[in-house]
Structure 1
Amino acid sequence: MTNDVIQCHNLETAYAASLHRPILDGISCQIKQGEFVALLGLNGAGKSSLLRSLVGLVPLVKGEIHINGVVMTPRTLPQIRRDIGMLFQGSGLIRQLSAVENVLCGRLGIRKTWETVFGFPQRDRLLALELLEQLGLRELAYQKTSKLSGGQQQRVAIARALIQSPQILLADEPTTGLDVIATQQVMETLVELHTQQGMTIVTVLHDLGMAARYAQRAIVLDAGRILYDGHCDNLQAQFAKVNR
């Protein structure tokens, strides 16, 4: 019996005229429960498209995606998304809301509309505050996110993803625009989720050194195809192949 939580079979997107090829061009890979995987590649390689396809945000013309053994279809997508947390570039927070209110937004996909008409239940608020405390942001819970630093905003976004209790966390360049210290804080938070909670992490990264330091496995994409899939040592040599 397989313990693959993500299975991609021959994924292909529509032809992109600007690239003279499909963005994803026959991608097949499997990711096991509890792995920490970095998606790497040059701009236009298809990293973010592959990541976003795992939550149904990139339409496919060919291929199949299985999440926890469930094939992705329009009918199964809501069920699949309940198991997946997503971190977007630049955090994707509502800047006018406080940190705790942004975290609570992560419950909107779980609660029925009538359950949130009069606000979120107390247990949701307590959970949101607990998550912020775990991420070192308890004292900033009622601060508007527009007033927070980039690193603090990204940790609020992590808390918003975690309030869904996901089995899988997808992160699309989670350290873009952050300084060195904030980058380290965000990546170490992901490592803690991986090591302490056994969460499956798949993240798009640009920095080879960061991938080697934090991830267990690297998938290197080039022109919509997988060039390398394996350990994170000697990634520089894999990228040298891209430029040949």
Structure 2
Amino acid sequence: MHDYVIECQNLETAYAASLNRPILNGINCQIKQGEFVVLLGLNGAGKSTLLRSLVGLVPIERGTIQINGVTMNPRTLTAIRRDIGMLFQGGGLIRQLSAIDNVLCGCLGVRTTWQTLWGFGKRDRLLALKLLEQMGLSEQADQKTAQLSGGQQQRVAIARALIQSPQILLADEPITGLDVIASQQVMQTLAKLHSQQGMTIISVLHDLRIAAEYAQRAIVLEAGRVVYDGPCNNLQAQFSQV
């Protein structure tokens, strides 16, 4: 067991002319197993870029990323991704598919081409139904996701991310565009995964109050650098709106 599930050292992305600097400009951070961490900062600070770099979606020019003690590179990326679930902004669902079929799509990354051609087996479908039930969506399993509310769609997306049984869940602005009730439902779902299953969760947020309510720790970025790394309970006293 490694002390940290995620270690980032001196991360730097390519130079961004629009910002007159790299988006990530020397990021150092470590995250332990079972932490609930939020990434905060103004637009352009590098929050989503940092999150996406942890699954190899953003190329790093300098520095290193280690996940569970394994250094990320083209040879190790597939194995690293098996331990990570990703929740994209807006859910990233296929609206024409049913909720259960969207959840099953979360299996595709770990299946061979032949397995994909044969379709999903009974065990996969039962697991998908179980995950939807945990999200309070068993009655919506066969509905097209286009017919679901924003909050329901985001919980389908969480179930899709969980079908691979990841150790780490990354959530990129999971409540953007949702109303207050739906936002609470999504954040409570993440909090339950953290408290009951011990899952490591890293989420990009914009609301200091919500961060303080649900997360243990905040990493605040400014101009591609870490300007705060500590408890969430005193954020509003230290920062204005981020």
**TM-score when normalising by structure 1:** 0.97
1:223 equivalenced with 2:223 (yes/no): yes
The amino acid that maps onto 2:106 is G
Paired residues for 1:20-169 under 5 Å: 20-169=20-169
Determine helix, strand or coil for the equivalent of 1:108.
helix
Aligned equivalents of 1:139, 1:167: Cα separation in 2: 28
1:210-235 alpha-carbon deviations (Å, 9 max, x no partner): 00000000000000000000001221
1:43-63 alpha-carbon deviations (Å, 9 max, x no partner): 000000000000001111100
The amino acid that maps onto 1:73 is N
Aligned equivalents of 2:241, 2:143: Cα separation in 1: 47
Determine helix, strand or coil for the equivalent of 1:104.
helix
Aligned equivalents of 2:127, 2:61: Cα separation in 1: 40
Contact 2:36–2:200, Cα closer than 8 Å, also in 1: yes
Contiguous gaps of at least 5 residues in structure 1: none
Residue 241 of structure 1: CA displacement? 11
Relative to 1, partners in 2 of residues 1:216 and 1:153: Cα closer, same or farther, differing over 3 Å?
same
Aligned counterpart, 1:11: 11
**Structure 1 segments of 4 or more deviating over 4 A?**
none
Aligned counterpart, 1:196: 196
Aligned counterpart, 1:187: 187
RMSD of aligned alpha carbons: 1.3
Residue 105 of structure 1: CA displacement? 0.2
Determine helix, strand or coil for the equivalent of 1:142.
coil
Residue 117 of structure 1: CA displacement? 1.2
Aligned equivalents of 1:233, 1:129: Cα separation in 2: 37
Contiguous gaps of at least 5 residues in structure 2: none
- How many corresponding residue pairs? 242
Contact 1:104–1:163, Cα closer than 8 Å, also in 2: yes
Aligned equivalents of 1:25, 1:157: Cα separation in 2: 31
1:106-136 alpha-carbon deviations (Å, 9 max, x no partner): 0001111111213101100000000000110
1:187-211 alpha-carbon deviations (Å, 9 max, x no partner): 0000000000000000000000000
The amino acid that maps onto 1:174 is P
Aligned equivalents of 1:43, 1:33: Cα separation in 2: 28
